[in-house]
Amino acid sequence: MTVTGTQASSDSGPVQIIRTSRLAAAILCGLVLGGAAGASIAWALSPQPTRDDLAGVAADLLPPGREVHDVETLGIDASGLGPTEVRGRVDPQLAIEANADGPTDAGIIGELFQRAQAADFSDVLLRRGMPAPGHVALVGERDGLAFELRDGRLDIAPLVGWPVVAATVGGAVGLALLAGFRSAHRQRRGRSRGMARLLTAGSWAILPIMAVCTASLPFFLGPGRSAADLGDYGSFVLELAVGLWAPVAILVGLIAWVMFGRRVGPGQTLGGPAGLPR
């Protein structure tokens, strides 16, 4: 089939959109999947807190007469992947919230600050409003671990280290470059009509969620912050892309299949010498 100059001119815009969307989808998909894989691998190889670590923090931080019971190890993210935290119940309970608006050098708050400083904890402070308004907790760091002490609970979690950040960024950049190169190379070779429609529909199906995951990536790159606050990028991508976007992606892909399928007629290729203009 011969493509006339008029057809080429009228179709060049939509075809360019198709080519650009496929390249963008490949790059973003590589960036997101590479970053997620790098983060998950780095966390899997990183040491995680233990019950003994929690016992050590409790012994140094809690006033005499108080102990930690019902200790459990939990995944920070709902998927169960990524870093873990160790949590225990403080008995008898403290009264941090009742004293939160008063001076921090008196009462139970003052005693906790003194014990934390004597035990070489750093960045010890009262944190208000997280995870809920009105919530008050004493937080601090030591030996690669962050603690959070509430009235009746003590949590410890690992800090985000530079290996996690480097693995996340390295995986994201590396796979994005590879995916972009392969997409550009394969588009130059051309595709059959059916394969072109399939790839275009798939690209439009994943573009929105990949864009959201890409915009969210910097939030997880916080060296020195608690993993309990940031979470794991790999778990975030898994939960968002698979758990939330999968049904929507089918609908978006079907719309793209119908919209852009008409741009490539029977027997034509997209992007190659015999296809529509590049």
Q: Averaged over 98-114, what is the pLDDT?
A: 68
HSE (CB half, 13 Å, CA atoms) of 21? 22
Q: What one-character DSSP code corresponds to residue 80? A: S
Answer with the residue of higher pLDDT: 94 or 268: 94
3-class SS of residue 51: helix
Burial of 273 (0-12, 13-18, 19+ CB in 10 A): exposed
Answer with the residue of higher pLDDT: 81 or 38: 38
Instruction: Region of 267 please: left (phi>0), alpha (psi -120 to 50) or beta.
Output: left
Which range is least confidently modeled, 55-59, 110-114, 115-119?
110-114
29 neighbors 50 (Cβ within 8 angstroms): no
- The percent of residues above 90 in pLDDT, for the chain, comes to 42
- The percent of residues above 70 in pLDDT, for the chain, comes to 73
| Phi and psi torsions of 136, nearest 5° | -130, 135
3-class SS of residue 199: helix
Average pLDDT of the residues of the chain: 80
Which range is least confidently modeled, 72-76, 140-144, 255-259?
255-259
The Cα-based distances of 93 to 67, 68, 109, 154, 194 in angstroms read 9, 10, 13, 10, 66
Residue 267: CB atoms within 10 Å: 9
Task: Flag whether pLDDT at 46 surpasses 50.
Answer: yes
152: tokens are 């009746």
Task: Flag whether pLDDT at 178 surpasses 80.
Answer: yes
pLDDT tens readout for residues 224-242: 999 999 999 999 998 888 7
With CA atoms as reference, report the closest residue to 143 among 166, 125, 120: 120
pTM recorded for the entire structure: 0.78
Q: Averaged over 141-149, what is the pLDDT?
A: 93
pLDDT value for 258: 63
Answer with the residue of higher pLDDT: 44 or 186: 44
Amino acid in position 1: M
Task: Flag whether pLDDT at 25 surpasses 60.
Answer: yes
Q: Averaged over 77-94, what is the pLDDT?
A: 87
